[in-house]
Structure 1
């Protein structure tokens, strides 16, 4: 694979001089942790299905990473080869990334909710050489799905299945043989270690402009974000992190996989969100920090309040993905006793803004925080001119953590000659510098922290034989932040009901979480004189339909 991370070289000297880029990789962090605290517990992974738990000290973590790295090399994985995985928050996910880093391979995490449509595109575009999946997860047979896709993936040389058998066995290929003791192991482990400017992660966006875009990050871009994030939140080696957000999202990957290793801290992984189990884990493991979207916060606060069993070690809950309702902050503060921190970020940068733990609670309700060190933000008009405080416009940012570019699509990088990146979001910045995201010029609905690619859903609707026109808009939801509603105009003599729409989307192999939860059939779409559908009118209609007096 040839990576076209063209945004990295022009920024190198400036970020090194400023101290934002430290030219360190996850290998350096893991090696340091092994030297300083080899027997300290590093990783605890809870597997909900069988209530199994696996623990690793830092010495054990490094040994398994070396073993798997040599195993990947035995499979033909070399520097800059892409290893994809569709794993839950299992220990195998963390170790797979650490193993890839040992030999300069690039990890491409893929959400477990993705099905054939998404995987077909991402695995072809990223030219993945190895794909790792669970045998089954949440009653879905991932291995069978990948076997069906393999004929369409000529670059994919190996399918490895956690819990699999024969040639597909993840364990037989990577974790059971003592590969790290082989005579050539040391040479393999050190011959192609990546630099901090090599691509280390390939992560796909949700396809807000049509096809998903492959975001390329280096060790310098992600580490610059993690150091600033940890500093803002006063996190260190003594902290215990709970990560229930998927590590196939940037949230889980940066702050549940990488950050604990970089800090020499402990992490506890939860593969399926069960709030009662999360509360138990927090108490049993002494968790001090976690990060998740608004529904997780609401669930955890409710369970703790109802049980009457406190979580005294939890100091901070960082909530991102959607605005936090004021009453929820009050409820969570009362129930959890933790500071609720609001934040905003994106795959291309990681967290961009966070409130400070010292800030008043209302900041978490009314703002998305202040820029992290190494990050500049501004709001501009349509011509790129800066707007005064309190004025809504396009959000641009310039950050040490900005990605290296979109794989094979440098024309979409959205970064100007002065390194300003157009986020595609609408926002305002108050007089104190706090950001508030007010809307999205990218047509996306954020449901429970998961971006729904509206264009893709609408395109599929237009292909339905009964549909003449279609539009998908979001509507507020107390728990998930937003849900999706499909508006359609049917063809003469045709009809479409909700159950038929759901069945159609499933037949089209659309990810279940992307399927709209409401359907409204209209005689005609509100439109401009040129025929463009007026989505704001649809939102107004939806608000009227959902109002108690309707």
Structure 2
């Protein structure tokens, strides 16, 4: 009988039963004089002891302003030290931190504040070209629950600080502590509600598999508003007594490389597009990256060629691929430090400690044999409590047995390693053939003149769908054409997998977290190609 695509992982290390605040207290007691946080743009530094004093002062100020256990406190800001302070201060008093995407505009901001019932909002006065203070003023009259707005770098922030309380509220590790809004492709975003237990354990076990100790210094250029920054970054660090280094408010490749070199960072995070941008810096070889040991590449499929360069040129010999989603706190699978290079460049690793994964037939829900593609599902401590005040949406994502259905297509091999082959919704059906963009993108990355490639499906009268490749070219090279692409692919890719259309761009449509927005690419492709076909499936 064929072995089924199911895997679980035990661990000699038990799950943590702490709240975030209690775990932070342990770190402060053990590592009080060690550096905990470096904010390079402002030049400020904190030890664990001085960071705890700042956290407790803000926590006390929130209590004095009337914030109670379970109240929602929003934060709308790019990366900065105050973001970290607010994260741990709200955890200390049991308020639920609502993390708001810095790229949101008035319509989205108003929806999130109202849907979650934010009572207090921390925010940057501005971000890039966005007048955040002006947008808050516009929506505030329409947000009934919003009672207090605290802008960073303002008297309100300074005045919020208060003397720490002799006793903090009594909390449970299962209490909700964070609402993160998923960037849905249709309709309004949904608020994934996560507990202390969810995110503290996920950060801790990701750090365990990376081998973190108090000697590690983690460069975090990914946004804090997302799990990648606040869980895999901040919580993985503080649960091990390590240091978080903020290179810039938003991702800048040169600033990130400088931070690694000058702060002697041992770990670096990023989505693939970030690593691609760093490797493409003209003076890349001038940065001393010899301190790097490990790091995480995650957020979207990681091209094999990029991963090899990260290992060879950046010296990240123990770099890990992590896979997950906001709804699972986020990491479900991870490559290990002793995995072969082939495993680390071609899979997203194995299931994490204390978790389960399975691959099922999307139609029947039955677990498929190993080696057979299907939808990846995960279960365990990491699965969210649900979508905030949306039980119907929760029931669509989490089945009665508490399996979270990811919507991702995956294959599990005989040793339990998972390969993500794409999103169910990204799969292209051409003339009845199921085509997986990831496979074609990996091949295009072997073209010597291609920096990055993304493949989407576009409507076609004959085949239902056709493939279109969006490519970024190396400077000074000839743009790829449909004809030259066919020549490159001939004899190497099956004919039906060769993209019919090619579009050369300087950059792809991106989310603020660095994920490629394929839905937007499809919309643009339909306009670019002037397709007179009903494109409802792609809109």
What TM-score comes out, normalization by structure 2 length? Answer: 0.77
Instruction: Measure how far apart 1:18 and its partner are.
Output: 9.5
Alignment-derived partner of residue 238 in structure 1: 215
**Is residue 376–residue 397 contact of structure 1 (8 Å, CA) maintained in 2?**
yes
Query: CA–CA distance in 2 between the matches of 1:302 and 1:410?
Result: 45
16 and 417 in structure 1: CA distance in 2 versus 1, 3 angstrom threshold: farther
Query: CA–CA distance in 1 between the matches of 2:244 and 2:382?
Result: 23
1:253 maps onto 2:227 in alignment: no
Query: CA–CA distance in 2 between the matches of 1:206 and 1:123?
Result: 15
Alignment-derived partner of residue 39 in structure 2: 45
Q: 2:404 aligns with which of 412, 416, 421?
A: 421
305 and 87 in structure 1: CA distance in 2 versus 1, 3 angstrom threshold: same
Q: 1:388 aligns with which of 350, 364, 369?
A: 369
Instruction: Measure how far apart 1:475 and its partner are.
Output: 5.1
**Is residue 379–residue 387 contact of structure 1 (8 Å, CA) maintained in 2?**
yes
Segment of structure 1 superposing worse, 365-374 or 88-97: 365-374
1:351 maps onto 2:331 in alignment: yes
Q: State the SS of the aligned residue for 1:22.
A: coil
1:197 maps onto 2:174 in alignment: yes
Query: CA–CA distance in 2 between the matches of 1:299 and 1:356?
Result: 25
Instruction: Measure how far apart 1:317 and its partner are.
Output: 2.8
Q: Deviations over 1:430-467 (max 9, x none)?
A: 12211112121356999xxxxxxx9xxxxxxxxxxxxx
Alignment-derived partner of residue 24 in structure 2: 30
Q: 2:415 aligns with which of 421, 426, 432?
A: 432
Instruction: Measure how far apart 1:328 and its partner are.
Output: 1.7
Query: CA–CA distance in 2 between the matches of 1:474 and 1:55?
Result: 48
Query: CA–CA distance in 2 between the matches of 1:370 and 1:63?
Result: 39
**Is residue 46–residue 90 contact of structure 1 (8 Å, CA) maintained in 2?**
no
Query: CA–CA distance in 1 between the matches of 2:295 and 2:472?
Result: 19
Aligned residue runs from structure 1 range 275-294, under 5 A: 275-294=253-272
Alignment-derived partner of residue 88 in structure 2: 98
Query: CA–CA distance in 1 between the matches of 2:229 and 2:48?
Result: 20
**Is residue 21–residue 221 contact of structure 1 (8 Å, CA) maintained in 2?**
no
Alignment-derived partner of residue 72 in structure 1: 62
Q: 1:322 aligns with which of 275, 293, 300?
A: 300
Instruction: Measure how far apart 1:396 and its partner are.
Output: 1.3
Q: State the SS of the aligned residue for 1:291.
A: strand
Segment of structure 1 superposing worse, 299-308 or 196-205: 299-308
Q: Deviations over 1:188-216 (max 9, x none)?
A: xx2x2421011111111112452211111
Q: Deviations over 1:293-331 (max 9, x none)?
A: 001112223338743333111111311122222222232
Query: CA–CA distance in 2 between the matches of 1:285 and 1:56?
Result: 14
Instruction: Measure how far apart 1:415 and its partner are.
Output: 2.3
129 and 274 in structure 1: CA distance in 2 versus 1, 3 angstrom threshold: same
Alignment-derived partner of residue 171 in structure 1: 157
Q: State the SS of the aligned residue for 1:321.
A: coil
Instruction: Measure how far apart 1:334 and its partner are.
Output: 2.3
Q: Deviations over 1:335-363 (max 9, x none)?
A: 21112322211001111111112122222
Query: CA–CA distance in 1 between the matches of 2:375 and 2:369?
Result: 12
306 and 91 in structure 1: CA distance in 2 versus 1, 3 angstrom threshold: closer
Instruction: Measure how far apart 1:28 and its partner are.
Output: 1.3
Is there any run of 5+ residues in structure 2 with no aligned partner, and where? Answer: 1-8, 428-436, 439-455, 457-464, 474-516
Instruction: Measure how far apart 1:121 and its partner are.
Output: 1.0
Instruction: Measure how far apart 1:22 and its partner are.
Output: 2.4
310 and 408 in structure 1: CA distance in 2 versus 1, 3 angstrom threshold: same
Alignment-derived partner of residue 354 in structure 2: 374
232 and 397 in structure 1: CA distance in 2 versus 1, 3 angstrom threshold: same
Query: CA–CA distance in 2 between the matches of 1:246 and 1:81?
Result: 24
405 and 418 in structure 1: CA distance in 2 versus 1, 3 angstrom threshold: same
Alignment-derived partner of residue 9 in structure 1: none
515 and 430 in structure 1: CA distance in 2 versus 1, 3 angstrom threshold: closer
Query: CA–CA distance in 1 between the matches of 2:192 and 2:300?
Result: 22
Across the two proteins, how many residue pairs are aligned to each other? 447
**Is residue 40–residue 259 contact of structure 2 (8 Å, CA) maintained in 1?**
no
1:301 maps onto 2:309 in alignment: no
1:126 maps onto 2:116 in alignment: yes
